[in-house]
Structure 1
């Protein structure tokens, strides 16, 4: 009988862990931490949505068919923090990190996407945040370098000027 209870407790615990993995973060939870010259700025989903909204319609090498991503342009995010030069170190939840030159951040360029096809992105669906480039708009966005910079499960940006 004890073994059955242990099994049930383990199964219930696993379900709670899986449910946490699949849930959508609340609008007030910090999703993105941006550090500029050692000054920390925290953004919730609501904070990101308060910035100008950008939409990218594109195909990707990771998804099927045309995708519609909505989020904040990286340029608008940097403008809100008065950043015009330097390097962005983008880091994901799993500690994957990549450097993005601020010079990459142009009008109609990359977006910190928080929705895909009108739906919030879950962690298992590359969310809750994904840096997406308008891959179909220019062949320059269809390179290994740009694909490597298209970091999903983004949770931190460090900007060094």
Structure 2
């Protein structure tokens, strides 16, 4: 009887260790996958100023915050005012490890007052290439609207001034094949749909 009880306690202890290990490995916080560079100076509900510099991206569609008619135009300082984070990832287009800095698209969505009925963001590049990224993915992973690569601002010739980056290395469940074409760059507009 005592030996049977010890066996049950041993099995229970092993199960607790296994469950703890599984919990530690799975579904980790996305915040652990990036480093905050600067805190947001523009938060949800704040008025967003009209650009004083070159407009680098125009937000349109189902949003509650505008600064130019029914759109929201952003210059670089305003875009980066939503807070900057960075992470390192193996870029599938450059075939190299790069550290990207930019705004979490989930934070940008909240600050824009995107409608609760919206389901996706349609990104359009300067060459009119378009990708549609689901808001489910935006909330699930720390997808970046990058403004810098390896600490340097990106010009148009180097995929700038903004590009979308997926955190492949921190989230192996992101299918590299299906998501590769969503790494859009030279973005001119984002439509909340």
TM over 0.5: yes
Deviations 1:40-99 (A, max 9, x none): 101100111111111121111112432110010000110101224321111000000011
* 2:62 is equivalent to residue 29 of structure 1: no
Give the equivalent residue in structure 2 for 1:42. Answer: 73
TM-score between the two structures when normalised by the length of structure 2: 0.65
| Structure 1 vs Structure 2 CA RMSD | 1.7
Report SS of the residue matched to 1:80. Answer: helix
- State the distance in 1 between where 2:99 and 2:113 align: 28
Superposed counterparts of 1:9-158, under 5 Å: 28-37=53-62, 39-83=70-114, 84=116, 85-106=118-139, 108-158=141-191
TM-score calculated relative to the size of structure 1: 0.77
Hey, which bits of structure 1, 4+ residues long, moved more than 4 A? none
**What is the CA–CA distance in structure 2 between the aligned matches of 1:71 and 1:91, rounded to whole Å?**
18
Q: Which runs of 5+ in 2 are unaligned?
A: 1-51, 64-69
Shift of 1:125: 1.0
Distance across 2 between alignment mates of 1:140 and 1:96: 26
In structure 2, the residue matched to 1:23 is: none
Structure with more contact order per residue of length (Cα contacts < 8 Å, sep ≥ 6) = 1
Larger Rg: 2
1:108 to 1:55, Cα distance in 2 relative to 1, 3 A: farther
Higher strand share: 1
Deviation at 1:157, TM superposition (A): 0.4
SS at match of 2:188: strand
> Any stretches of 5+ residues in structure 1 without a counterpart?
1-26
2:89, 2:167 within 8 Å by CA — same for their partners in 1? yes
